[in-house]
Amino acid sequence: MNSVAYEAIIGLEVHVQLLTRSKMFCACENSYGGEPNSRTCPVCLALPGSLPVVNDEAVKMAIALGLGIHGEIRERSTFYRKQYFYPDLPKGYQITQGPVAVVENGWIEIPGDPKVRGEIQPVRIGIERAHLEEDSGKSSHDLNAKSSHVDLNRAGVPLVEIVGRPDLRSPQEASDYLKDLHRLVTFLGICDGNMEEGSFRCDANVSVRPQGQMAFGTRVEVKNINSFRNVKLALEFEIRRQIELYERGETFEQETRGWDAATGETRAQRSKEAAMDYRYFPEPDLPALTITGDEVELVRSKLPELPEARKARFMGDYGLSEYEAITVLQDRAFADYFEAVARTCGNGKQAANWMLGEVSRTLNEQGTTITKLGLLYAFLAELIQLVESRTINLMTAKEVVFPALLKGKGTPRQIVEKHGLAQVSDRGAIEALIREVLASNAAQVAQLKAGNEKLKGYLVGQIMKAGKGKVDPQLVNEILNALLAEA
Ligand code: ADP
Ligand code: ZN
Ligand code: MG
């Protein structure tokens, strides 16, 4: 049988919880946690007679996002009511934006997956719109066996929904796109980016079609994806499932499926026929949202340096490779920390080496973040300087001083002094040490001279060991070469 090659088409819908002080349409505090139902008022509880008022800070954040995704900021957009009945939605409808959204026609650039594009080239992923809306409350069904519980602290929290165009062609691209958006909203400071707590969440639409076919295949929307890893896994699973159906000659209906991270599968939730009719209509209690050019310029003038610009600057100012710059820019706190270290120690390349090496390894091992690690950037900078000035060698820095720093044993200098770690750079002392090692390894020296170059490394190892790891490796090499040449 001739097997057909299939192409995947993916479009993501991303919900971003905005870091405003108050909720979208009322003055209640917008913050995670807290005593259930303590952050509520007549507006977000939907008591009769209460009226919503648009949160200006949320609008400014939406504008900032719009500028970050190269979008058009609409002068006039409107709010609608999207009706559905759910216990955690007190009004019986969600206020969201209608046909015209505050931001339209944006894009972001991602590397492009060479596996599906044939070559590495940046591709632009279109963004149809980004609109303002409100979050729902939270239902819990597992607090006890008899009842379900509703917490309305989250009801009315401002969201921006970013609707991506179906321009992504592989799970890898979907994950890259999501990471880029995540980076953007955290750099803008409009979202805390916490995916586990749902501050940044994504639904993935996916269809497949035979390579070369113009028309899109039937799409499935996968809900409940809460990590970059899961977006890839869910899409890989769903693409395989759809291809298998087509290969068996079956068709399927458009539907919504849920991702189950525990089983690694998507499961049917509701079919298109069962899809709700939201009976959208314009929100009568809110005027149209109008944004002037001056307001847009004010937001633009206050934008922080965005990832793209910062990447270029890191490559220029600190001599980082593109890969290093992108990796250092994994999140804002990490990038800020790197930059503080680089500026303090004066060596950006070394700062990047440490951040991407020992520091990242430690963060992975401890499952923590740079902010929570609690290592002062000035200490890391001082450690780098101690290596640069050849006070200690790199091995001692990595294996002894860095772990001691993490345990809060003092400043790098204090640790070096307390444990006598400063390296021996007295030529005479090193030469004596080397002569001793050469004398007791006469056979290896002879073999080395006969051409067995591998023994050089062995001898250096013996010398470093004899010097208790504290001799300056550069001097060891220099003197060893001289001694070998003279004999
Ligand atoms: P709806 O109005 O049902 O939400 P939209 O046209 O707004 O549908 O699309 C929702 C999402 O689905 C968008 O992110 C879009 O990129 C994506 N999408 C649309 N068509 C397809 C398709 N054939 N395959 C994959 N994703 C698609
Ligand atoms: Zn409220
Ligand atoms: Mg839609």
Tens-place pLDDT, residues 273-291: 777 789 999 999 999 999 9
Q: How far is CA 87 from CA 8, 47, 90, 141, in A?
A: 36, 15, 7, 12
Counting ligands in written order, the one closest to the CA of 23 is 2
* 8-state DSSP, 471: B
What's the CA-to-centroid distance between 60 and ligand 1, angstroms? 27
Answer yes or no: is 300 within a domain.
Answer: no
Picking from 69-73, 115-119, 404-408, 426-430, which range would have the lowest pLDDT averaged per residue?
426-430
Collapsed DSSP state (helix, strand, coil) of residue 228: helix
Q: How many CB atoms lie within 10 A of CB 306?
A: 15
What's the CA-to-centroid distance between 269 and ligand 1, angstroms? 17
Mean pLDDT of 150-161: 97
Q: Which atom of ligand 1 is nearest to the CA of 12?
A: 14
Answer yes or no: is 419 within a domain.
Answer: no
Shared domain check, 367 and 261: no
Q: Which atom of ligand 1 is nearest to the CA of 221?
A: 12
What's the CA-to-centroid distance between 163 and ligand 3, angstroms? 7
pLDDT of 363 over the 70 cut: yes
pLDDT of 2 over the 60 cut: no
Counting ligands in written order, the one closest to the CA of 216 is 1
Domains contained in the chain, number: 3
Residue nearest ligand 1's atom 20 by CA: 166
Answer yes or no: is 413 within a domain.
Answer: no
Token digits for 236?
A: 């890989």
What's the CA-to-centroid distance between 106 and ligand 1, angstroms? 16
CA 262, 263, 265, 266 dihedral sign is: negative
pLDDT at position 264 is: 95
Shared domain check, 334 and 283: no
**Is 216 touching ligand 1 by the criterion CB < 6 Å?**
yes
Shared domain check, 341 and 233: no
Answer yes or no: is 117 within a domain.
Answer: yes
**Is 13 touching ligand 1 by the criterion CB < 6 Å?**
yes
| 257: nearest Cα among 290, 225, 289 | 225
Residue nearest ligand 1's atom 25 by CA: 206
What's the CA-to-centroid distance between 29 and ligand 2, angstroms? 8
pLDDT of 191 over the 50 cut: yes
**Is 10 touching ligand 1 by the criterion CB < 6 Å?**
yes
Mean pLDDT of 180-192: 95
Shared domain check, 329 and 252: no
**Is 164 touching ligand 1 by the criterion CB < 6 Å?**
yes
**Is 165 touching ligand 1 by the criterion CB < 6 Å?**
yes
Give DSSP secondary structure letters for 320-343.
Answer: --HHHHHHHTTSHHHHHHHHHHHH
247, 269, 293 — which closes off a domain?
293
Q: Which atom of ligand 1 is nearest to the CA of 218?
A: 23
Tens-place pLDDT, residues 9-44: 999 999 999 999 999 999 999 988 889 999 999 999
Write down the pTM of the prediction.
0.84
Collapsed DSSP state (helix, strand, coil) of residue 147: coil
What's the CA-to-centroid distance between 346 and ligand 3, angstroms? 49
What's the CA-to-centroid distance between 52 and ligand 2, angstroms? 9
pLDDT of 1 over the 60 cut: no
Q: Which atom of ligand 1 is nearest to the CA of 165?
A: 16
Counting ligands in written order, the one closest to the CA of 239 is 1
Shared domain check, 320 and 259: no
Shared domain check, 241 and 327: no
Shared domain check, 178 and 267: yes
Q: What percent of the chain has pLDDT over 90?
A: 81
Counting ligands in written order, the one closest to the CA of 14 is 1
Shared domain check, 130 and 49: yes
pLDDT band at 487 (very low <50, low <70, confident <90, very high): low
Shared domain check, 215 and 311: no
pLDDT of 272 over the 80 cut: no
Answer yes or no: is 317 within a domain.
Answer: yes
Shared domain check, 435 and 383: no
**Is 32 touching ligand 1 by the criterion CB < 6 Å?**
no
Token digits for 226?
A: 């809460």
**Is 438 touching ligand 1 by the criterion CB < 6 Å?**
no
Residue nearest ligand 1's atom 13 by CA: 11
Question: 127 or 468: which carries more pLDDT confidence?
Answer: 127
Measure the CA angle with vertex 277, ends 126 and 76; round to 5°.
50
Answer yes or no: is 301 within a domain.
Answer: no
What CATH number is attached to the domain comprising 457? Answer: 1.10.10.410
**Is 256 touching ligand 1 by the criterion CB < 6 Å?**
no
Tens-place pLDDT, residues 410-448: 999 999 999 888 888 788 888 999 999 999 998 999 898
Mean pLDDT of 444-468: 89
Ligand 1 pocket test: which of 124, 205, 223, 257 has the largest number of ligand atoms within 8 Å of its C-beta?
205
Q: Which atom of ligand 1 is nearest to the CA of 207?
A: 24
Answer yes or no: is 79 within a domain.
Answer: yes
377, 407, 437 — which closes off a domain?
407
**Is 163 touching ligand 1 by the criterion CB < 6 Å?**
yes
Tens-place pLDDT, residues 217-233: 999 999 989 999 999 99
Tens-place pLDDT, residues 79-126: 999 999 899 999 999 999 999 999 999 999 999 999 999 888 899 999
Q: Which structural domain, as residue segments, surrounds residue 179? A: 6-293
407, 439, 470 — which closes off a domain?
407
Mean pLDDT of 326-348: 95
Shared domain check, 482 and 348: no
What's the CA-to-centroid distance between 167 and ligand 3, angstroms? 15
Shared domain check, 279 and 318: no
pLDDT at position 467 is: 85
Counting ligands in written order, the one closest to the CA of 205 is 1
Q: How far is CA 15 from CA 157, 198, 203, in A?
A: 12, 9, 8
Q: Which atom of ligand 1 is nearest to the CA of 216?
A: 23
Answer yes or no: is 414 within a domain.
Answer: no
**Is 291 touching ligand 1 by the criterion CB < 6 Å?**
no
Residue nearest ligand 1's atom 2 by CA: 163
Residues sharing a CB contact under 8 Å with residue 255, sequence separation 6 or more, in sequence order = 220, 221, 268, 269, 270, 271, 272
- What are the backbone dihedrals phi and psi of residue 476, each rounded to the nearest 5 degrees, phi first? -55, -50
